[in-house]
Amino acid sequence: MFGLEPLQFWGWVFLSFYLGLMIVFGFVGMNRIKNSDDFATARSSYGPIFLAFALTATTASGATFLGLPGLAYTSGLSCLVYAFVYPMGVYIGVIVCLHGVRRAGDAFGSRSIPEYLGDRFDSDIVRLLAALFSILLLFYLAGQLLAGAVMFTEMLGLKVLPALGVTALIVMFYIVLGGAHADILTDGVQGALMLILACAVVFMFFSGFGIEGGFSGMLDTLEKTDPDLVTVLHPSFPLYNSKWDIFAIFVAHLPLGLLPHIGNKLWALKNDRDQIKFISIAFAFGMLLPAMTLGGILSRAILGDSLFADGANPNQAIPQLFIATLPAWAAAFICAGVLAAVMSTADGLVVSTAQIFANDIYRRTIAPKISSNLDSKKIDYISLLISRIATVIILIVAILIASYARNTNIALLVWIGVGGMMAATAAPMFLGVLWRRATKAGALVGFIVGGSVFPIIYAKLINPNWFSHSDFLFQSVNWLSYQASNPFSCATIASIISLISMVTVSLLTKPPSDEHLQRVFGNNSV
């Protein structure tokens, strides 16, 4: 067909349709943008059902649809522990913080999670710290672009660098046009497509699709390949080989739903009455999407060890599964669904990261100090312009990171950046919502401690041999050193230490004023 292989032909067909749809949403979003706040938050614009689809689509990413199946291809059934524990952490975190973040954010007119934190603690330094840590999301974005590149190489036969460029250009186009509105509109549609895809994978897994003997035949094949592939906890895989690891996965993901690219969607909900409906739908949907992990297990049974060969990568487990078992048109359609998952997170990351420069750095920090002669409309115009320029620059930087880390598992690449940010953010976010006594000084210490402890553990900067004089200290530091291979464990340990530090400092420093607390919490007695 037109000189192309069937998969490539259908890949271009579905890509063209998908691209056209995204362009339409970009222009629709552009027509809804009246000011920089519209670009940043789409405040109070969407109902609970559509926004729930958008939120969960953003939460599920290339890591969910390619990285997790890649880990499952490598480690087997034990990866399901990760797949279904992490969304519980994400959505419980959102449930805990939803009302407080929405209320205070609307009261102060916050346009980003860093700005909300700055307003909560009445501190420009807290806001700037949160904004600076948010730059680590570039690694998260790079992971999404890399996931998109995997899909384009598999579907269209492109090389990695051109595929990265195509992925970035698609996102750049509709986000530059429509900002948060385009982000939410596209995510809502992408979320529906992702739901269909997850259901298809669940059916394929439990029917043992493509394997003689069906489901039991699949398990038998896996056990013959490696008995560890059918164990609940993988004895040699550091991410989930103990009860502590399960706990760490849960705790480490509690702040994920409040990261800037996800948390900013909370302000797009039309009214507070729909909060329960919104989060219930989001929770149900969010617990289903990680079922994509099942596809990685099925892929290992069908493809054997082929993705460990030179030139292959376990990140390809899902597209290769579809290519091996489905007609070309069906494989291309489902691969387009995976691409939707990638785009749904990438666009939110771009919008939120752009706000670091447009809102947190320019509008809230630079403009009041050097632009006192500018009226609010001019400042708003410049903020909107910076948002669009920053979108382009952010995507270029993310392409460079993704190109450098092209052979890294997508889920782990995401956590290189996200782990440090979540460790820094967890204590200020949760205590800021739940505890009136939390202070500015406590939040600053929480940020610094959490953001510092994570890389110290992850990079093994403390040598156990330094403490050989004490068996207790040696064993403790040796355990920490072992945790370095598990970013979830690193983030959990850092978050706990940050939490303790923030509580201690808050109790030792002057509490916030009653007037400020009234504005943050209203009549709540938290």
What type of residue is 512?
A: P
Q: How many domains does the chain have?
A: 1
Return the pLDDT at 128.
85
Rounded average pLDDT over 501-522:
93
Cα–Cα distance measured from residue 228 to residue 471, given in angstroms and rounded to the nearest whole number: 33
Q: Say which range, 13-22, 119-128, 249-258, 456-465, has the weakest mean pLDDT.
A: 13-22
Each residue's pLDDT tens digit, 221-273: 999 988 888 888 777 777 777 888 889 989 988 988 787 767 767 777 777 77
Does some domain include residue 433?
no
Residue 518 lies in a domain: no
513 within some domain: no
Q: What is the domain extent for residue 375? A: 6-26+46-404
Task: Look at the alpha carbons of 204, 140, 490, 93 in this order and tell me if their dihedral is positive or negative.
Answer: negative
pLDDT greater than 60 at residue 4: no
Does the pLDDT at position 412 exceed 90? no
Give the pLDDT of residue 429: 92
**CA-wise closest residue to 146 among 8, 359, 291, 338:** 338
Residue 415 lies in a domain: no
Which tokens in the block code for residue 355?
């706000």
**DSSP states of 445-513 as a string?**
HHHHHHHHHHHHHHTT-S-GGGGTT-HHHHHHHHHHHHGGG-HHHHHHHHHHHHHHHHHHHHHHSPPPP
For residue 32 the two structure tokens come to 């809804």
Q: In degrees rounded to 5, what are phi and psi of residue 269?
A: -70, 135
Domain-located, residue 251: yes
CA distance 14 to 332: 7
Euclidean distance between CA atoms 436 and 427, whole angstroms: 13
- The pLDDT, as a whole number, for residue 295 is 92
pLDDT bin (cut points 50, 70, 90) of residue 112 is confident
> Within 13 Å, how many C-alpha atoms sit on residue 323's CB side?
19
Structure confidence at residue 505 (pLDDT): 97
The average pLDDT across 329-356 equals: 75
152, part of any domain: yes
CA 282 to chain CA centroid, nearest Å? 15
To the nearest whole number, what is the mean pLDDT of the chain? 81
Cβ contact 340:92 at 8 Å: no
Summarised one tens digit per residue, pLDDT across range 423-480 is: 889 999 999 999 999 999 999 999 999 999 998 988 888 888 888 888 888 898 888 8
Q: Is the pLDDT of residue 168 over 70?
A: yes
Looking up residue 263, the CATH number of its domain turns out to be 1.20.1730.10
**Could you tell me how far CA 135 lies from the centroid of its own chain?**
13
Summarised one tens digit per residue, pLDDT across range 276-287 is 888 888 888 888
Q: What is the pLDDT of residue 2?
A: 43
Q: Identify whether 485 is part of a domain.
A: no
Q: Tell me what pLDDT residue 184 has.
A: 74
Low-confidence winner among 58-67, 300-309, 471-480 (lowest mean pLDDT)? 58-67
CA 20 – CA 25 distance, rounded (Å): 9
Residue 341's pLDDT band, with cuts at 50, 70 and 90, is low
- Higher pLDDT pick, 428 / 191: 428
Q: For position 3, what pLDDT does the model report?
A: 46
- The Cα 517–Cα 104 span in angstroms is 10
* Contact between 89 and 407 (Cβ < 8 Å): no
Is 32 domain-assigned?
A: no
Rounded to the nearest 5°, which phi and psi values hold at 127? -60, -45
Residues of the chain above pLDDT 90, percent: 18
- The more confident residue out of 381 and 85 is 85
